[in-house]
């Protein structure tokens, strides 16, 4: 079977049966399509899966690094390709040529993390009430933007002060408590801002549900309107949530549950510790 045909079967059949979320499958599709294009060009035509060699995988990864693709992105693509080739080897009874391919080392990068006061100032000066609701919800809950956009009216119980995340990353559900500030933000949005439309999504537009692209665009517009120089994204707000709760004494296990991470290792990327934080830690021994 041709490589591109097998990729379609892997994503649309195997990954679906594995319960992989739509966004995960979309990322796999994008990464594997780049690998397909490389193999198609280097082999002067789309090769069959049996014709893929270890040199194809290594050549693709080297080309990505040479083209300036971020090391951690290439690392992720390496794992996606290796997972696909491992599955293909079992399905097609061929050699798993990706098994012994080395992957780039993880490069520790701490994305920009605005301060808690920064975000509070942004909320106080928000011109767009929808942007304010989105920024406030992400800041006070640590939700992924995809989880925010997927919220349904029945998932938010303002009376009990809870928010249910259904089918989050990895297909996991979780129940989050809401503090008084975010309850006020959500209540105001629901009763004074949300348009009357025929969708059960909590965050909606006049034409239906709110998309992740549109949510990001609203935050970007507010950032530009307030002349904020530093980057501000849905993901950076998730980092603020984790970092500042950690600095206030919330242990990693609790943060892991709030953020919906399957491992503490993944969570480490979200916790930004400054030199002052580390100095405070060693001073506890004095």
| CATH number of the domain bearing residue 30 | 1.10.150
Which tokens is 103 given? 């992957």
Q: What mean pLDDT is predicted for residues 36-55?
A: 94
Is residue 262 scored above 80 in pLDDT?
Answer: no
Whether residue 97 lies inside any domain: the answer is no
Is residue 272 scored above 60 in pLDDT?
Answer: no
Q: Which residues are catalytic?
A: 144, 169, 235, 238, 261, 270
Predicted local distance difference test score (pLDDT) of residue 109: 60
Predicted local distance difference test score (pLDDT) of residue 260: 83
Whether residue 285 lies inside any domain: the answer is no
pTM: 0.63
Same domain assignment for residues 145 and 272: yes
Predicted local distance difference test score (pLDDT) of residue 164: 93
Predicted local distance difference test score (pLDDT) of residue 249: 81
| CATH number of the domain bearing residue 260 | 1.10.443.10
Same domain assignment for residues 12 and 52: yes
Same domain assignment for residues 267 and 217: yes
What is the C-alpha separation between 255 and 240, in angstroms, rounded?
12
Same domain assignment for residues 166 and 82: no
What is the C-alpha separation between 21 and 169, in angstroms, rounded?
7
What is the C-alpha separation between 52 and 245, in angstroms, rounded?
48
What is the C-alpha separation between 189 and 140, in angstroms, rounded?
15
Same domain assignment for residues 211 and 267: yes
What is the C-alpha separation between 57 and 60, in angstroms, rounded?
5
Predicted local distance difference test score (pLDDT) of residue 19: 85
Whether residue 131 lies inside any domain: the answer is yes
Is residue 16 scored above 60 in pLDDT?
Answer: yes
Residues forming a β-bridge with 209: 204
What is the C-alpha separation between 273 and 285, in angstroms, rounded?
18
Query: 246 lies in which domain range?
Result: 116-280
Q: What mean pLDDT is predicted for residues 255-263?
A: 76
Whether residue 257 lies inside any domain: the answer is yes
Predicted local distance difference test score (pLDDT) of residue 12: 94
Q: How distant, in Å, are the alpha carbons of 109, 116, 162, 240 from that of 247?
A: 19, 11, 24, 10
Q: What mean pLDDT is predicted for residues 40-58?
A: 94
Whether residue 260 lies inside any domain: the answer is yes
Q: What mean pLDDT is predicted for residues 46-50?
A: 94
Whether residue 103 lies inside any domain: the answer is no
Total domain count for the chain?
Answer: 2
What is the C-alpha separation between 13 and 184, in angstroms, rounded?
43
Is residue 273 scored above 60 in pLDDT?
Answer: no
Residues written for the chain: 286
Same domain assignment for residues 175 and 270: yes
Helices 180-188 and 129-141: crossing angle in degrees, nearest 10, is 150
Could you report the per-residue pLDDT of 138-171, keeping only the tens digit for each? 999 999 999 999 999 999 999 999 999 987 666 6
Same domain assignment for residues 133 and 49: no
Same domain assignment for residues 273 and 152: yes
Same domain assignment for residues 125 and 255: yes
Is residue 268 scored above 80 in pLDDT?
Answer: no
Predicted local distance difference test score (pLDDT) of residue 271: 61
Predicted local distance difference test score (pLDDT) of residue 281: 46
Q: What mean pLDDT is predicted for residues 53-74?
A: 94
Mean model confidence pLDDT for the chain: 86
Same domain assignment for residues 260 and 129: yes
Is residue 82 scored above 90 in pLDDT?
Answer: yes
Could you report the per-residue pLDDT of 183-208, keeping only the tens digit for each? 999 999 999 999 988 899 999 998 88
Same domain assignment for residues 38 and 168: no
Q: What mean pLDDT is predicted for residues 16-34?
A: 90
Q: What is the DSSP string of 139-166?
A: HHH---HHHHHH-BGGGEETTTTEEEEP
pLDDT classification of 79: cutoffs 50, 70, 90: very high
Same domain assignment for residues 162 and 260: yes
């Amino acid at each position: 079977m041709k490589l591109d045909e097998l990729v379609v079967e892997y994503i649309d059949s195997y990954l679906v049966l594995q319960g992989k979320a739509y966004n995960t499958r979309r990322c796999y599709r994008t990464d594997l399509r780049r690998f397909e294009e490389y193999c198609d060009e280097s082999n002067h035509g789309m090769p069959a899966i049996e014709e893929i060699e270890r040199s194809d995988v290594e050549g693709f990864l080297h080309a990505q690094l040479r083209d300036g693709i971020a090391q951690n992105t290439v690392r992720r693509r390496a794992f996606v390709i290796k997972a696909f080739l491992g599955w293909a080897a079992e399905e097609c009874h061929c050699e798993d040529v990706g098994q012994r391919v080395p992957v780039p080392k993880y490069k520790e990068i701490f994305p920009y993390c605005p301060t808690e006061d920064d975000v509070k100032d942004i909320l106080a000066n928000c011109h767009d009430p929808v942007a304010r609701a989105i920024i406030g919800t992400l800041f006070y809950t640590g939700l992924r933007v995809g989880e925010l956009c997927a919220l349904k009216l029945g998932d938010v119980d303002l009376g009990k002060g809870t928010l249910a995340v259904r089918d989050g990353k990895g297909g996991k559900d979780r129940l989050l408590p809401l503090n008084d500030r975010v309850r006020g933000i959500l209540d105001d949005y629901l009763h004074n801002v949300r348009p009357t439309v025929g969708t059960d999504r909590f965050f909606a537009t006049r034409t239906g549900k709110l998309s992740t692209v549109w949510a990001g665009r609203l935050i970007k517009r507010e950032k530009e309107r307030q002349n904020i120089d530093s980057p501000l994204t849905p993901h950076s707000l998730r980092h603020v949530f984790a970092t500042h709760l950690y600095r206030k004494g919330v242990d990693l296990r609790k943060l892991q549950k709030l953020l919906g991470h399957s491992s503490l290792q993944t969570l480490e990327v979200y916790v930004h510790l400054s030199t002052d934080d580390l100095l405070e830690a060693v001073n506890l021994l004095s």
